[in-house]
Each structure stands twice: as C-alpha cells, then as structure tokens.
Structure 1
C-alpha cells in the first residue's frame, strides 16, 4: 500500500486533518507507516510484456500503447522500429549489483554504450520492440526500474552529486530522494499527469541539485 492511499472518509461529526485523519487521533508514528513501494519489481516487466502482446494483436490502439510504453521508460528512436529505454535511479545511485545488472543487460540486449543523463538516469539504445520487454525483465531481476522514467509522470528525483558525503549538507539528500521516489511510484495520481514533473533535492543552501530549474526543488535549511 502506498503512503498516499486515500484515507477512509471521516464522519460528518468529526473534524479531520487535510489527509483525512480525525483531529482527535494521534498521528501515525514512523513505525506505523505503511511499507513503501519497491522501486523495481518483476511485476512491472510482466505487465509491460502483456501490454505489448495486447498491442501486437490489435487489442490495444496505438495511442493507448504509446502512453503505456512511455510510462515504462520506453521511447521510439528516430530510426525505424528502434527504441530507447531509460532506467530510473533516484539520486543517480546504483549498488554494485545494480551496476552489474545494467552492464550485463546492456551487453545482452542493446546495440550501443549506456548513456548517463544529466538527471542521473541511464539510457539503453537500439532495441527492437520485443527487445524492450526482454531488457525490462533483465533490469527488474537486477533491482533496476524503468517505471515512470518518461511520459507525463513523476520523473526521477535528482540530488546534489555529493549527496550523503558532502560536509555541508544538513540532511542526506539521497535518502530524501529515495523516499520521494518510493512514495510516488505507481501511485494513481502520477500515471496521467498533465505534463512530466521533475523534482530535485539539495542538502544545503549551495543548492548543487539546482532546485530553481525543477518543477519541485527542495533545499535543506537550518532554522535558527
């Protein structure tokens, strides 16, 4: 269950907070919060493969398929019948196992070097449409998601490049980015947004994450 699932509608006789919790009840403790959604799951890759099959058989029209594949990080390249896939990496962070999964998946399924983006993602090039399904499955097995890396969705959360190691930061921006990403991934509100929505987190006032050029920019401060 997501952190932002709708709360039960309160009775008319009770005053509620903006999130629907009765005002006379204590707030949930951190331990009582629902578990966050995992970023990477094989279910996303399976859903993508099933949708591709529906498109192939004509059960899905082109417009529905295009919206769906973009939501899963799959772009059409300029070359005919050729596709690019973007993975979603909050703060641009990869574990050793995830980095290996990226390298192996690219070697086995793609036709060019991995591209590192300015918003701390990685992109894979020169795939066939069927090859995109195989790549998504390989990445999911390695703990890497492409979900909502493109399309009109809540995009990757970027951070200061020195998040978690900068001596000036007031908070670990990388942890904040991870928490935001897991809170919003697969949420119904983020599946059909009017336009793409980009977020960044800076751990201090130097704002190395460049909050001023994002749709939502968070800068940690210390209150006197």
Structure 2
C-alpha cells in the first residue's frame, strides 16, 4: 500500500503539491477561471445566440454566474443519466438569483418579479437556500437581467458552480426578539470581501455557508459546509460556535463542531480560513468525494481546528460552548413580534412555487401593510416585516386570498420539493406538482392532524430537498407498478431529524406516484393512533413495528 502522503497527493490536494487536473471539471477550471465567462456572455453569446456558446462554458463556467441549461421538455425519467448532455439540454436556462441572508427590499422584490414576467415566462420559485430561481431564460436576455438586478444590489454571481454559494441567514436577523445576535453584518462582510474574488473561485466543489444567531436554528447549520451559530460564552458575550463538514446528497453527514468561540468581528477571517483549507486540502480527484465533508470525516474536527489555527489564522481560538438546542419548529411561519414592537408575518407558498405576478402582489402587500421589506426562508417560505400589530390579521387575510397561508396546515407548512423533472436534467420524477397535490389531498383526508411533520420530495438521489432529514423523505426513482410497468415513484426514508438522525429505509418500502397519497395517509394515521404524548414522528418510527411503517 502506498504511503499516506502519496495517497493524499492522489486526491489532487493542492496543499500537497498536486496541481495537475485529475478530471474534466478540474481541467476546465484550470484552463480559464469561471468568473471570466461573464464577459463572453455579454460580448459574444448574448449577441450571437445559443449556438455560439463554447461547450466548456455552457456546461461548466456558466454556473459561476448562476446559469444551468434546463431539461428539454418531453424526455422521461428513464433516460436521465443515459442520454448525453447535448440531447438533454434545452436551449433555455435556469437562472439563480442569490439572496444572501434572505433579505429583500421592496425595490429588489419588485425587480425580481418584473424579470420573471418579462424574461422567464413568469417562473420564480423560492428555494431552500433562500434564492429565487427562474426558468426559460434566453442567453440573449442575460445581460439585461443582470443590469436590472445589479441596479438594485442583487446578483447571480457564484450562485452555482465550484464556488462559495449564497450565504444563508436567519430571515429575522436583527428583528427577532429572542435572537442570540444579529449575523447580518458578518454575512455582508463575507459577501463584500470574498464573493466574486478569484481567490475562491476554483474550489474542489460547491461550498455552502450559514451565519445565524437564531434560537430556532432556521439555517439548519448541521448540513452546511461551514456554519457560524450564535452562542453565549461564560463571560456573557455573544459570538459563534463553528461547524464544518455537513452535507447530504448520496453520502449524508452532519457537520462537526470545532469547539471554538469566535467573536463577530473575527468571523469573516475564520470563514476565510475554513474555505482556504477546503480550496487547498480538498479532494479534487473524484467529483463525488470533493465536498469538504469527506475531508472533515477523514481528518476529524480536532485536526481541522489545528490546521485552521496554525496554518491559516496564525493563532489559537478560545474554546467555546455549544449553542442551545433548536426549537421544535425551525421555520418562521405565522405572526410574531419584532424587537421594535411591530410584527412579522410569515407565510407558506405551496412548496416554494411562486411566479412573477404573485411576487408583485406580495411586494404590494409588503408596502401597504409594512415597510416593503420581505424575507425568504430556508424552508421555501417568505416573511413580510414591519407590520403594525393592529394590521397583522388584515394582512393574513389578504395573503390568504392569494393562497399564501399564514396559518397553514402542518402538511403545507412543512412540505418542500426540489425542481424535479419539469426543468432539472438530473431528475427522474416530477416533484413540484406531485408535492402540491399530496398536500392538498392530505389536508382533505386528515384535516385535524396538527403535529409537526416534514414531507420532503426529491426528484433524484442528490437530496436538494433534504430527504434524509425529513420525517417522510421521498426520493424519486422508477418503480414497477402492479401491472409490471415501469412508472414514476419514490423510495421512502422515515424518521429523519436535522442534526440527530438520517431517515431510515425500510426494506422494500417504495411507492408509485399514484399510490403516494394513500401511503402517506396510512403511515400518518398509524403514528397519530400510536404516538405517546409529545412523541415526535421520528421517535415513533424508531420504535414502531416495521409493518406499521409500510
């Protein structure tokens, strides 16, 4: 067996002197920085059209500016993974607008809405990382879209690609009465100093960040590459505990605490140290092992902290306490009091599905009832801020008239779905409409069920909708129905909890899309019948008979 150093060099780690690209993606990045494609989009591709786009830009560097080719309509899930990109690619793009911290002003929301109507056939979905995603974007329109976004301080810069992607934060930062601290200044500092910088535009893979002082832990820090979580030390100072190495996809891992205490003014430098370790020591040979979670799993938190302090910070960090436990519901749906005495009103679109016209109506309501400020959440939901107490119910009624519910059923409140086969080239099954239909039907069949219950629907194994940490996680795949035909369906994961456990797979537990609602109704009814007082769905699944889970 080769010595350890040689094995690590074989992973393509830059810090060990190995710079030669070991796969096509690394070669593309070495040939030209992804950030440079912006100029070509403006000067060449937007003028000469889709056919002028270099393939290395089209399926590689375009992602550095938030652009993915979308799935050509009419290609069924059985062909996902077997057709070449040239046959799967449509001539249109998904475009992701990064909304760091989930914070939007009135003019920003109106601009997003206007772009959806003018350039994206009305499409605009809110994601579980607080972004807005468009579809049907033509390359010819991209410069005009960028100009409109940048005029109000928004960007698609590094919204995709092997880059530091959107920084998620508590949508109530600086607003919630019970927050540990307001992380907004740290999000702004990291964005201003590092996003769009060539210093971190060639990472081994994507890099996901969370900064939050939220007591609910709404940024799900346990599944981010790096997360700064508000805590209070023995001296009563508010600062951050740092977690590294979380992520889901096909090999899920929870982040590990570094056991440190980071003061707010130090946080951006510590973030720089962590992402620098990933850039320099991250694995670059195999794409599926290139996330920081694999490095953290191999090193352990103690070694990671040691390298961070000695090689990148040049000083030791003090030890620090772990944050308090999360609240039972991590979202911010409903009506709550702000620090200034006004109120916020959080509401639930159906699995993040919005459109340009609806976003414009939300902007109208935010101006009429509040200050215009709106927030997106990491649960595909939205919040209107700064509402006087005597106007909250009127706003809730106005939102309800748009089917944006402030007091939704537990099914709507806790359901999420990825993009699915409608637009995504990786998907195997339809997700958005399937999830919306599921929620609608469960509301009819189980109108009195009110326990927290997350149902996450994913179109492929990559877990964009966090199936492994849902009470009921649905992973899209093709299954055989009772007639022996291959149809859309789901493998079922049960009893996942963020930071505690990944959902378990029961042998042979799959369902067709057509039978999905019947299955979910059945298992939820059994839980409701058998649960002890205060017992969560996840806890019940761990003790339930296997027959009751089927």
State the TM-score, normalizing by the size of structure 2: 0.31
The alpha-carbon deviation at position 76 of structure 1 amounts to 0.6
2:138 is aligned with 1:111: no
Residue 75 of structure 1, aligned match among 46, 65, 68: 68
Moved more, 93-102 or 126-135: 126-135
Distance change >3 Å, CA 47–CA 203, structure 1 → 2: farther
Moved more, 151-160 or 104-113: 104-113
**5+ residue gaps in structure 1?**
1-43
Partner of 2:110: 100
Q: Look at both structures and tell me which one has the larger radius of gyration over its CA atoms.
A: 2
Residue 223 of structure 2, aligned match among 213, 216, 223: 213
Matched pairs, number: 181
Which is bigger in relative contact order (C-alpha 8 A, separation at least 6)?
A: 1
CA offsets 1:148-190 (integer angstroms, 9 cap, x no match)? 0011100000012322212222321223222222221111122
Residue 89 of structure 1, aligned match among 99, 102, 105: 99
User: Equivalences for 1:1-224 in 2 at 5 Å?
Assistant: 48-50=41-43, 52=45, 61-79=54-72, 80-204=90-214, 206-224=216-234
Answer yes or no: is the 8 Å Cα contact 2:59–2:69 preserved in 1.
no
Partner of 2:485: none
The alpha-carbon deviation at position 57 of structure 1 amounts to 10
Q: CA RMSD in A?
A: 2.6
Answer yes or no: is the 8 Å Cα contact 1:48–1:72 preserved in 2.
no
State the TM-score, normalizing by the size of structure 1: 0.72
Greater fraction of residues in strand: 2
Distance 1:213 1:57 in 2: 36
Partner of 2:535: none
Distance change >3 Å, CA 81–CA 58, structure 1 → 2: closer
Report the 3-state secondary structure (helix = DSSP H, G, I; strand = E; otherwise coil) of the residue aligned with 1:77.
Answer: strand
Greater fraction of residues in helix: 2
CA offsets 1:11-35 (integer angstroms, 9 cap, x no match)? xxxxxxxxxxxxxxxxxxxxxxxxx
Answer yes or no: is the 8 Å Cα contact 1:205–1:219 preserved in 2.
no
Answer yes or no: is the 8 Å Cα contact 2:173–2:213 preserved in 1.
yes
Moved more, 136-145 or 96-105: 136-145
